[in-house]
Amino acid sequence: METETYLVKKTDRPRRKQKPLQDLTINNVSSGIISAMLAMTGPPAIILAAADAGHFTHEQTISWMFAVYFFGGLFSIVFPFIYKIPITGAHSLSGVAFLVTITPHYTFSELIGAYLITGFIIYIVGISGLFTKIMKWFPNEIIAAMLGGMITTYVVRLISSVNDLAIVGIPAVLGYFIFIKWVKRIPAVLGAVCIALLITLFTQNIEISAMDTSYIFPSMFKPDFSIIGIFTISLPLALLILSNDAAPGIGALESINFKPPTQKIISASGIFTMIAAFFGGQSANIAGMMSMICAGDESGPREKRYMASVVSGALILLFGIFAWEVVPFIKALPKSFVSMLAGFALIGVLGSSLQMGFSKEKFRLSSTFAFVIALSNISFFHISAPVLALVLGSFISNVIEKQN
C-alpha cells in the first residue's frame, strides 16, 4: 500500500503542525540554493544549443526557457508543501541533450506535439503503476550507454574550450578538482561554473543588444502531431525522464528513509510536462540530483528538509520568469565559455552513464552498440542516433544476448 508520508520511528513525538516560514533554517536554505544553482548554470547553455540547432526564434527560445524553469519550480514548491518531503522539481537535463540531435529535423509545432505525448505517456505510466515493467523492456544499462554516447561530444568540447579560452578554462578545471577533493558540501560542477563565470565577466568584453533585452511574454503554441514524432521523440524522451530523473529522484528519497508517493510523483511529472509543452518546454518533473541534495543530512532537521526543495523551486521559478533577461545574457557570452558550461554540466552524467552502461558482462555487446551509435550522431529517415541506439541496443540485449 502506498504511503504518502515519510517514515517516522515509533519513539518520535507526534508531528506538530508545520508552519513553512518557521521551518526555514540556514541548512535547508543553503541546500535549496545549491540545488537551484545546479539547475541554473550548465543546463541553460544546452537549451540554447538545442534551440540554435533547430533555428528557433528568439521568442520561442525564451518561452522554452520560461516553461521548463517556471513549471519545474512550481512542481518543486507544490509537492513539498503537500507531502512535507523534499521532492525537488526541475526539468530533464538528459532530455535537453537528446533534443540537440532532434530539433534540426522537426518544426517547433511538431516538437510541441511530441512533448505533449511525452507527458501523456509519463502520466499513464504513473497512474497505471507500470513503471517497473516498462523499464524491463529497456535495460538501464542500454539507456545509460545511449546517454553516454549522446553526451560524450559535449564533454570533449569542454577540453577544446579550455584550450581556446585558457584564461577561464584552466582555473575552472583546477577549481573543479579542488571542490571534488576538499569542498564536498558544494557540487564541483557548481564551483567550477562560478569560477569560470567570474573570470569571464572580468576578462571578456560582453555586449548585450538593447533590442534583445526587451520583455517578451511567454506564449502558448499550437501543437502538431505525427506518428513518427511519437516514436522518435516522445517515447525516447519519456524513457530518459523516467530512467534518469524519476528513478534516481525517488530512489534518493527512499534511500534516506522517506516514503515518497511514487505513482503520484510520476503522474504529476506527466501533467506538469504536458502544461510546460504548450509553452515550448520539453518537461517539468522530479529531479534526481537536486532531490538528493535537498534530502541529505546537510539540509538540517529531517522534518524541515522539505523547505530546501521549496527554496530551490522558488529560485528556479524566478529564473524562468526572467528568461527574457537570461537568454540574451547567455547568448552574449563567448561560445567557448558556453561550451564549457555544457561540458561541466554533463561530465558527471557521462561518468555515471559509462559506469552503469558497462557494469554488467551480459550487456557488453548491446551497451557497446548503443554507445557508438549514439556517439555517431547519424540520422536515418528523421530517426536520430539516440533512438537508433536505444532500439538496436535493446534488440541485441533481449534477443542476441538473452539467448547466449
User: Is 237 part of a structural domain of the chain?
Assistant: yes
* Distance of alpha carbon 259 from alpha carbon 94, whole angstroms: 26
CA angle, corner 55, sides to 192 and 99, nearest 5? 55
pTM for the model:
0.82
Which whole-number Å values give the CA distances from 36 to 59, 97, 290, 336, in the listed order? 24, 19, 8, 24
| Domain of 385, in residue numbers | 20-403
In the block, cell 540531435 appears at: 101
Percent residues over pLDDT 90 in the chain: 42
Model confidence band, residue 344 (pLDDT cutoffs 50, 70, 90): confident
- pLDDT score of 4 more than 70: no
Rounded-to-5 percentages of helix, strand, coil across the chain: 75, 0, 25
User: Is 2 part of a structural domain of the chain?
Assistant: no
User: Is 1 part of a structural domain of the chain?
Assistant: no
- pLDDT score of 209 more than 70: no
**For residue 214, what pLDDT is reported?**
66
- pLDDT score of 321 more than 90: yes
User: Is 253 part of a structural domain of the chain?
Assistant: yes
- pLDDT score of 160 more than 80: yes
User: Is 195 part of a structural domain of the chain?
Assistant: yes
Average pLDDT value for the chain: 86
Model confidence band, residue 208 (pLDDT cutoffs 50, 70, 90): low
pLDDT higher at 172 or 185: 172
User: Is 273 part of a structural domain of the chain?
Assistant: yes
Lowest mean pLDDT among 4-18, 154-168, 182-196, 278-292: 4-18
**For residue 14, what pLDDT is reported?**
41
User: Is 169 part of a structural domain of the chain?
Assistant: yes
Contact between 327 and 149 under an 8 Å Cβ cutoff? The reply is: no
* Distance of alpha carbon 61 from alpha carbon 54, whole angstroms: 10
User: Count of domains in the chain?
Assistant: 1
pLDDT, one tens digit per residue, over 326-337 is 888 888 888 888
pLDDT higher at 171 or 390: 171
Lowest mean pLDDT among 82-86, 132-136, 306-310: 132-136
- pLDDT score of 48 more than 70: yes
In 100-226, alpha helices (H)? 108-128, 131-137, 140-164, 166-182, 188-203
**For residue 210, what pLDDT is reported?**
53
Model confidence band, residue 135 (pLDDT cutoffs 50, 70, 90): low
Q: Nearest 5°: phi and psi at 90?
A: -165, -135
User: Is 3 part of a structural domain of the chain?
Assistant: no
